[in-house]
Amino acid sequence: MRADEAVPLGRTGLRVTRLGLGLASLGGLFAPVSDRDAALTVDRAWDVGVRLFDTAPVYGYGRSERRAGAALAGRPAGQYTLCTKVGRLIVPGGTDTQPFWADPPPGVGPRRDYSYAGVMRSVEDSLERLGLDRIDVLHVHDPDEDFPAAVSDAYRALAELRARGAVGAVSIGVNHAPVAARYLREVAAPGPDCVMLAGRYNLLDRSGLDELLPLCAARGVAVMVAGVYQSGLLADPRPGMPHGYSTVPEALAGRVAAWHALCRDQGVPPTAAAVQFPFGHAAVTSVVVGARTPDEVEDTARMLAHPVPPAFWAAARAAGLLPPGVPVPAS
């Protein structure tokens, strides 16, 4: 599979590449990134064919959106798909802060707001930071933070923006698959066009398959999968790496070790298996992977194209790492 392969985004008129670049790292996730390195990283993604970019106001408290806009400035808007999010406003003195953003802009912070007015203001602020007049995909970010407002007021605002062409597609960005399934069932018709699911459909956590992915397939809702390396455990499980775990649970550590052992035995890089696995499900259009350097982008594109033979997936089933009903990519 190639990074530049473009496919339809579900029932929308948009097309997305199989590989997307998540821009949280360029907002300073865990460690600072310079303006220059951020621009070079987006440039390298463009060079390898990536045309799907995902950001959010909360990523570095506006910094990721500003860098995305600067890096994509001058490129024809119709040649790429840009996603951002609503649910948090970046305001002076905002107190809903998160500890993992390195060196955020002084004096501002996020404030949760899923109201109709808050969403409309968030979109205006994002367009200003991005330097655009339209957003391709707009996610309701973490709707579980205020589910009643997210499923009603926030969706009403997004549906209105979609109807007048200010937004190409309406989506939700979630870390918990049951939240997304509940959202799709309870929201007013016609509902979201797509879902971004982070960390819940990968080699280590397949909870997205329990209900959400079959529901999306039945309704024609496209799925973008993020978090395929499980916070880096499938890329580099060494202690001290930025996994988002202070201590990796023993059961999880055992499964991580088993996947790495299988990959060694089969001669398949674990990151190749991880980035390709979600494409076994028909609802998945794209995998979105974060990067903070050009080399990381290039390596991910190379892993997406790396051969992973059917024998590898058969060995994973034989080892008990994949249950029989879990779909795997075609060879």
Is residue 290 classed exposed, middle or buried when 0-12, 13-18 and 19+ CB atoms within 10 A define those classes?
Answer: buried
Query: Two tokens at 224?
Result: 């973008």
- What residue type is 298 in one-letter code? E
How far apart are alpha carbons 279 and 109 in whole angstroms?
36
Choice among 37, 43, 47, 59 that is catalytic: 59
CA proximity to 45, closest of 288, 224, 244, 272:
288
CA dist., res. 154 & res. 135, Å (int): 16
Question: For residues 167 and 161, what is the distance between their CA atoms, to the nearest angstrom?
Answer: 6
CA-CA distances (angstroms) from residue 258 to 194, 208, 227, 255?
33, 21, 19, 5
Q: Is 35 one of the annotated active-site residues of the chain?
A: no
Contact of 316 with 322, CB cutoff 8 Å: yes
The total number of residues written for the chain in this structure: 331
- Check 54, 136, 142, 153 and give the catalytic one: 54
Residue 74 Cα distances to 44, 157, 282, angstroms = 16, 29, 34
Establish whether 85 is a catalytic residue. yes
Task: Show the DSSP H helices in the chain as ranges.
Answer: 35-47, 63-72, 116-130, 147-149, 155-163, 177-186, 212-219, 250-266, 270-276, 294-305, 310-318
- Name the residue type at position 119: V
Of the candidates 47, 61, 80, 85, the residue annotated as catalytic is: 85
Distance CA 22, CA 83 (A): 9
59 is catalytic: yes
Which residues carry out catalysis?
54, 59, 85
